[in-house]
Amino acid sequence: MRHRAKLMPRKGSEAGQSLVEFALSAMVLLTLLLGTMNLAYGIYCYHTISAAARDAVRYAIVRGPDSGSPATTEQVQQAAIRAAVGVSLTPNNITASWPADLGLPGKRDAKVTITYRYQVLMMPMALTLTSTSQMLVSQ
């Protein structure tokens, strides 16, 4: 009888082991979950600044420098800021210009470039996201 009791493990000694295993696996899973959420937010930020650049350049081509009511750089920047929901843009992040079109002499393009510094969570680094949109001025 005594010999048999030594071969069978006691139930109390395994309870601590399963708790340690759960703690280690939960740490790994939570790190992966937070990393995935962080990556998804980075992709969202890039998509948002790309859409904001397109919206701002559309605003600029309708109100080109030769139209009846030309848009100023500040108005184009504000159009981009309004379009970037969920991303904190400032006018310093946005440049707007009206370069000459290389394919059509005498015509101008509207060009908007947005640069956004995305801080990666859990890492001491930041990514610089940049999006440029350029279209021919309609008027």
Tell whether the model's pLDDT for residue 2 goes beyond 80. Answer: no
Beta-carbon contacts of 35 under 8 Å, excluding residues fewer than 6 positions away, are 122
Quick one: pLDDT at residue 69?
86
Quick one: pLDDT at residue 4?
56
Tell whether the model's pLDDT for residue 5 goes beyond 60. Answer: no
Give the number of other Cβ atoms within 10 Å of residue 26's Cβ: 10
Return d(Cα 63, Cα 42) in angstroms, integer. 32
CA angle centred on 135, ends 116 and 76, rounded to 5°: 50
Starting from the edge strand earliest in sequence, which strands make up the sheet with 94-97, in order? Answer: 94-97, 109-119, 126-136
- The model's pLDDT over 70-117, given as tens digits with 9 standing for 90+, comes to 889 999 999 999 999 999 999 999 999 999 888 888 888 999 999 999
